[in-house]
Chains A and B, each alone.
Chain A
């Protein structure tokens, strides 16, 4: 097994005998020469030239060991595909495997020798010395072959000389390879840094001002890799809200999300609607991204006037909607595949979320959810929800900061492996008026004045006022009747909600009394069996859209919350009542 080495030099061949001082000098010269080059091809040329010179050979070649692929590689010349052979095949393979020098005085008499290359090149190999290149850390670097000693065959002296030379060559080659790897790494690092800069530059420089909304977003890049992006900007179509996360490591994800960001903005600038933008960008990404790459992305448009957030999500989750009215989280599912995964010809309808006062819409990337602590636990979605719920009355900027603090504290020194990105959007909470009333029936006129003031202040539908007054009075008189041991004033709060009103009554220093569990009244009973008791709560249950009761043990506080809307009333009037008039005579 042999091949032609680098171009022949017609230099004088030095003849060696014992490993003399002169031999050593020659090797040291070689060592000096080997210290200079930094690129592999030059170094290989130097090594081969040195071997030919020191050993008096006609030709030489070096096979490098590619450990991950288990192959020996012969670099022929820059730009030409190298020759590769399995690391156990032929003479070079045998040498690499045994790590021993192999001296073949007559190649054509040795079964391991492959004469085909001679045939192809027209060169005749007589004798050959094959020696392992092992560096000082005992790592196999490759195999060197020298062919055809000028005046005979290679002898034991040559073997000794070659062994000394091989050690030098191995170290030099290994140095070049490691330097090359370092340079490659540095190039990668610089390229990554540049890609990250480009990625960061596409993020909005600030948050737009959106009437009756508080919007905040954050992006904290991981050290090494990550492909997150977000966008929050006012465009003709509304408030554009984007959170994307590209797969993969290295430079690619940073570049693909940058590409997506640019495509999206362009599509919307050209007047595309949500569906068109989503499909077009998806299909363009499917064309351009490598087959194993895709981007999960949430793309939404909020109309701040109608408070509708229409969105598509290509595999991006969680999409969290905190509903202030019920203090619960709704989770939406993605509407489509990750972007760029495949061509789309049709799309499911977008999700159309109504954002009510006080609602929070939250998007977080994997970097938040998958942040691990020392025990290998992940931060997870529940913790995100806790932070939002517990701080729902604070600014979104503060909530984001608290979320990041919370993730950081959870990690407890564990590294951030992925980009951390989050977008939070909250519709301003409904305005509320609150006042306290002395625990006595005499407070009723003041309460009536208070609800009228609140209705006028918040421009609530005046048709609801008598019903609100009824509810307030019934709940309040109940508290006066059953909370005789308390002297604390009763708090009443009126909040404007979509299409109606929310009432909160807080009764302090009392025993629990869950009005939602009070007995039903039989409204069809004959008059003799009818009693006034329980009627008030019955009426409230009939008129309110919802009634909630909470009791706080520590503060001995009952809190009743109900919502009344015109649409809810109309619906119940239509369904429940048996007719508006029933004059019977």
Chain B
């Protein structure tokens, strides 16, 4: 299951699994964000290409209006997914704490 909600300072808190089954819900949530948005991924356990697709679509939309997505707290195995897909070059990724 995926959890997605707003946290402090306008951060978006992601938790659980961002997979093909949850991607539509994540997409409709992120379609509403604007500006520079930090995704807090500390509690995100899993992301698949469907989830990456949601982030890519959101990033393209935000970049067009001088906004962007920043990722924070990515777990190492999720970082691998970003690296292998080249998404580490499309997003600003804060190092894990």
Contact = CB atoms under 8 A, between A and B. Distances in A.
B77 A463 contact: yes
Interface string B71-97: 000001111110111101110111110
Interface of B is mostly: helix
A530 B92 contact: no
Given A467-B77, A474-B48, A444 B19 contact: yes
Interface in B12-27: 17, 19-21
Contact of A470 (B53, B81, B90): B81
A441 B77 CA distance: 23
A437 B67 CA distance: 41
A430 interface: no
B86 to A, nearest CB: 3
Most buried by B among A523, A525, A535: A535
Contact of B46 (A441, A470, A527): A470
Nearest to B86: A523
Contacts of B80: 543, 569, 573, 577
A206 interface: no
A351 interface: no
A444 B86 contact: no
B83 A577 contact: yes
Contacts of B45: 466
Given A448-B17, A467-B77, A539 B96 contact: no
B84 A470 contact: no
Contact of A477 (B50, B56, B59, B92): B50
Interface residues of B, number: 35
Interface in B30-85: 45-46, 48-50, 52-53, 56-57, 59-60, 63, 76-81, 83-85
B61 to A, nearest CB: 11
A538 B85 contact: yes
B48 A536 contact: yes
Nearest to B84: A542
A524 B86 CA distance: 6
A30 B7 CA distance: 130
Given A528-B60, A532-B49, A539 B93 contact: no
Given A473-B48, A535-B49, A539-B81, A581 B17 contact: no
A28 B89 CA distance: 119
Nearest to B95: A581
Contact of A580 (B19, B50, B76): B76
A442 B46 CA distance: 17
Most buried by A among B1, B77, B96: B77
A442 B94 CA distance: 33
A16 B56 CA distance: 131
A524 B89 contact: yes
B31 to A, nearest CB: 15
A467 B19 CA distance: 13
Given A527-B60, A536-B48, A581-B93, A473 B19 contact: yes
Given A444-B19, A527-B63, A581-B96, A532 B88 contact: no
Most buried by A among B49, B90, B92: B49
A81 interface: no
A581 B92 CA distance: 10
Contacts of B56: 527, 530-532
Contacts of B81: 470, 539
Contacts of B78: 466
Contacts of B89: 523-524, 582
Contacts of B94: 583
Contacts of A569: 80
Nearest to A582: B88
A470 B92 contact: no
Nearest to A525: B86
Interface in A502-523: 521-523
A201 interface: no
A211 to B, nearest CB: 34
Nearest to B22: A444
A385 B33 CA distance: 62
B85 to A, nearest CB: 6
A469 B46 contact: yes
Contacts of B57: 532
B76 A444 contact: no
A521 B87 CA distance: 12
Contacts of B17: 448
Interface of A: 441-442, 444-445, 448, 463, 466-467, 469-470, 473-474, 477, 521-525, 527-528, 530-532, 535-536, 538-539, 542-543, 569, 573, 576-578, 580-585
User: What 7 pairs across the A-B complex have the smallest Cβ distances?
Assistant: A523-B86, A532-B53, A536-B49, A535-B49, A542-B84, A444-B21, A581-B95
Given A530-B86, A535-B85, 7 more contacts: A448-B17, A466-B45, A521-B86, A536-B48, A542-B84, A569-B80, A581-B95
29 contacts: A441-B20, A441-B21, A442-B21, A444-B19, A444-B20, A445-B1, A448-B17, A469-B19, A470-B81, A473-B48, A473-B50, A474-B48, A474-B49, A477-B50, A521-B85, A522-B86, A527-B63, A527-B90, A530-B90, A532-B53, A532-B56, A535-B85, A536-B49, A539-B81, A542-B84, A581-B95, A583-B92, A583-B93, A583-B94
